[in-house]
Amino acid sequence: MKRTYSVLFVCTGNTCRSPLAERILKARMREKGWKGINVSSAGTGAAEGAPASDGTKGAARSMGLSMAGFRSKPLGRRRVARADLILTMTRHHKADIEMRWPDAAGKTHVLSDYTGSGRGAITDPLGGSDGAYEECAAGLSDEIARLLPMLERAAARVATP
């Protein structure tokens, strides 16, 4: 039996939305004491090793989170193959993944579609005001709150010996 369940958040540059989603979900999982779920992020157009944007760091701080040590990662075949669930910020990201890796179609979803929130795309705050980053963080926090019950079943499956 597989001992971990892997969630991958995807945006474009992997310096704003997807790393913030990663840190929010990891924090919520720690609060719940969940083990056995691996959470990561990557970008469809990301360079390797860039830090989170300053706006992302500020939005994370305002939520009591840290982006310390975060470095961007490009999306590639290996990351896609290892993921059990891929959650994208926009329909464009989902389409890009499905075009490049057709076998990932069944496990790739726009975050808001997967949670059923009806929110649509999580808008990229890159280059925007602090308010744009705060709005992005609030939207991601809401989506992840909706995601948690769905992941609870996965967490229970991998925690069972």
Residues serving a catalytic function are: 11, 17, 124
Residue type at position 56? T
Cα 74-80-52 angle, rounded to 5 deg? 35
Residue type at position 69? G
Give the H/E segment covering residue 109.
strand 108-110
Q: Which distant-in-sequence residues (6+ apart) come within 8 Å of 156 by Cβ?
A: none
